[in-house]
Amino acid sequence: MTDQHVKKSQMKKWSHTMKGENSWTMFKVISEFVEGFETLNKFGPCVSIFGSARTKPEDPAYKMAVDIARLLTEAGYGIITGGGPGIMEAGNKGAHIYGGRSVGLNIDLPFEQGHNQYIDIDSNLNFRYFFVRKVMFVKYAQAFIALPGGFGTMDELFEVLTLVQTNKITKVPIILVGSKFWGGLREWIKNTMLEKANNISPKDMDLIPITDDPEEVVQIINDFYKGKDEELKPNYEL
């Protein structure tokens, strides 16, 4: 009978010798965590706004993001975005022009030209690593708002949903803005992920309300935190 066990000598190997400097990457990661924590710890409760970098100022979704950020500013929340153009710019703009805290968590990407002009000077952070940046998005946000976006928006949205679903972070409002954009995805989650595959629980559907009304976005958040102002704090401790 032929021996079916694979010998270790047959295992795949890296195409080049691993450089010792890769071990020192951890210090770059730590420095980004330190800068992020020391900066964001100084600010009050914020709301993270996700959405496409490709959205133009004339797009209704851009105006929607500005209006939502304005209303959240009036409600006393700072705004956190990815710091780039599109929906991110709109979120920062709505906070900036109405006197609110405007935070930008920038990431080095080849197709984005730096940060937008509406970020507070002391609130503009730059990251090399996506996973460090996402920790900052999640740790300091009292709610998450997802407007139409691409893969990056989906990545951020489902990461937050997973963290809330698994109780890895405090339960917070997660709101999808734009029924035409998000409606099909929510139906697929309900019809396929829940009812056909039974891969989530019915109560998980409550985590993703959809609205087209900026005032409803703020109302959902205000209702969630009604009477809890003294309990507001970052979502988790590392």
> How far apart are the C-alpha atoms of 148 and 57, rounded to whole Å?
14
Residue-wise pLDDT for 94-152, tens only, equals 999 999 999 999 998 776 667 899 999 999 999 999 999 999 999 999 999 999 999 99
Give a yes or no: residue 152 inside a domain.
Answer: yes
User: What distance separates the 2 farthest-apart alpha carbons in the chain?
Assistant: 77
Q: With respect to residue 6, please indicate whether it lies within any of the assigned structural domains.
A: no
Average pLDDT over residues 157-167: 96
Structure tokens at 42: 């100084």
pLDDT > 70: percent of the chain: 94
Residue 186 lies in a domain: no
Residue range 48-81, pLDDT digits in tens: 999 999 999 999 999 999 999 999 999 999 999 9
Owning domain of residue 127: 28-179+211-222
**What pLDDT is stored for residue 110 in this prediction?**
72
> pLDDT exceeding 90 applies to what percent of the chain?
79
Confidence of residue 236 (pLDDT cuts 50, 70, 90): confident
**Band of pLDDT at residue 21, cut at 50, 70 and 90:** low
**1 in a structural domain:** no
Of 118, 217, 108, 112, nearest to 173 (Cα)?
217
36/134 Cα distance (integer angstroms): 11
Q: Does residue 201 fall inside a structural domain?
A: no
Q: Does residue 219 have a pLDDT over 90?
A: yes
Residue 17's pLDDT band (cuts 50, 70, 90): low
The stretch 209-227 carries a mean pLDDT of 96
Q: Using one digit for the tens of pLDDT, what is the confidence trace for 166-188?
A: 999 989 999 999 999 999 999 99
| Number of domains, the chain | 1
Determine, yes or no, domain membership for 126: yes
- CATH at residue 133: 3.40.50.450
Instruction: Tell me whether residue 44 is in a domain.
Output: yes
- Within-domain flag for 120: yes
Q: Which residues contact 104 (CB under 8 A, 6 or more apart)?
A: 80, 81, 82, 83, 84, 88, 92, 115, 116, 119, 123, 124, 125
SS3 144: strand
